[in-house]
Each structure stands twice: as structure tokens, then as C-alpha cells.
Structure 1
Amino acid sequence: MDLSAGEIWLVIGALGAGTFLIRFSFLGLIGRRAMPPLVLRLLRYTPVAVIPGIVAPLILSPAATDGQFDPARGLAALATLAVGIATRNVLAAIGAGAITLYAMLWMLG
């Protein structure tokens, strides 16, 4: 598919305008109004819903192994999850995952 420079810039501009309008609808139009308590309560769960969708592909089909499951990364994810649940400390969970990942990569070669 060959696109001219003008077509590419048109797509970039349309995507930029769309992104702006989506963000403006929340920040510009609704930003000054008080949100209902139900909406505020539901917004607290947004990171919990989004982060697994970002992390799961990195664990199940990492680019470092050409999309093949890697036991080292799987064990590091399990260690991170276990320490995070046990301690409720984000830094401890990240540290445990990093140590497990590097130890497993070193042991498995």
C-alpha cells in the first residue's frame, strides 16, 4: 500500500483531532462539574482494569523471545503477584519480580 505524504499527514491530523476531542470531552466539558459519587467510585477501578491488559501480553508472548512463552518471565510475574498480595507493597513486589527475572535468566541461560 503506497500512501502519499499528504495522505499520511491527513491520517495523522485526523487521529490527533480525534484524540484531542476525546480528551476534551472529559477535561473541557465535564472537568468543571462535580461528578456523581457512582462515577468517582467506578473511576477508581480503571487502573486495575487497564494494567493487566498491558502486562499480560508482555508475560504470555514477550517480544524478547519472538512471542514464545518464557518460563523466566512467567515465574517473575508469579513472584511479583505473590509478593504484592502478601505485602501490599508495590516496591517490594517490583523488586521481587526483578530479582526473580534476572535470577531465572541467569540460571536458564
Structure 2
Amino acid sequence: MTQGHAEIWLIILVLGLGTFLIRFSFLGLVGRRPLPAWALRYLRYTPVAVLPGLIAPQVIWPPATGGAPDPARMAAALVTLGVGWVTKNVIFAIGSGAATLYAGLWLLG
């Protein structure tokens, strides 16, 4: 990096101020007012939209294998999805996926 210490601290402060303003715009300005029904309806889908985007790269290109697909992780993801879909129980789905992952890693080495 060719930036000096002052430039790096300026970048950190500007980015920190930017993230504060983004959060304040939602929490500080709208926080005490009730949201419209349409906004609440769309906000219910936020976890469903965000979680697959966070999890899928870790399953398909796991850093633990250097980015190569791993059958144990694929099997664990499929078992977790299947158990979650059938039982509608998050804890049971996570537990069965974890057990499948550890069993797959143990069996496949």
C-alpha cells in the first residue's frame, strides 16, 4: 500500500461516518414511527433472501478445501435443507446437517 497513515485514518473515518449515516437514516429517523404494512410484509423475507447468499458460497466453494467442491459439505447442506423442509424445525435441521457434515468428513477423510 502506498497510502500514508493519515490517508488510511481518513478513509476509516469517512467509511465509519457513512455506515453510521446509513443506519441512522433507518433507525433514527424511522425508528419511532410504525412502518407501513407493505414494508413489514417485505421485511419478513429479508432472512430468506440473505441467508442463502451467505451460506451457498461456503458450501459450493469452501475455503477449507481451497475452493474445491466437497461431497461432505454438499451432503450436509442437502440433508439440512431436506430435514428443515420436512420437519419445519430449525434446531433439528441444523443438528442433522452438522451430524451429516461430521460423519461425511470422518468417512471421507
Q: In which range does the TM-score fall when normalised by the shorter chain?
A: over 0.9
Alpha-carbon distance, 1:34 to partner: 1.5
Q: Which residue of 2 aligns with 1:81?
A: 81
- Number of paired residues? 109
How far does the alpha carbon of each residue in 1:64-91 deviate from its partner, in whole angstroms, 9 at most, with x for none? 0011111100000000000000110011
In structure 1, the gaps of 5 or more residues are none
Q: Which residue of 1 aligns with 2:48?
A: 48
Which amino acid is 1:58 matched to?
Q
How far does the alpha carbon of each residue in 1:23-76 deviate from its partner, in whole angstroms, 9 at most, with x for none? 000010111112110001100100100000000000010100011111100000
Runs of 4+ in structure 1 over 3 Å off: none
Q: Which residue of 1 aligns with 2:64?
A: 64
**Distance in 2 separating the partners of 1:69 and 1:11:** 37
**Distance in 1 separating the partners of 2:88 and 2:2:** 52
Q: Which residue of 1 aligns with 2:97?
A: 97
**Distance in 2 separating the partners of 1:70 and 1:51:** 20
RMSD over aligned CA atoms reads 0.7
Alpha-carbon distance, 1:20 to partner: 0.3
Identity of aligned residues (%): 63
**Distance in 2 separating the partners of 1:71 and 1:14:** 43
Which amino acid is 1:13 matched to?
L
TM-score, normalisation: structure 1: 0.97
Which amino acid is 1:53 matched to?
G
Which amino acid is 2:9 matched to?
W
TM-score, normalisation: structure 2: 0.97
Secondary structure of the structure 1 residue equivalent to 2:31: coil
**Distance in 2 separating the partners of 1:32 and 1:100:** 45
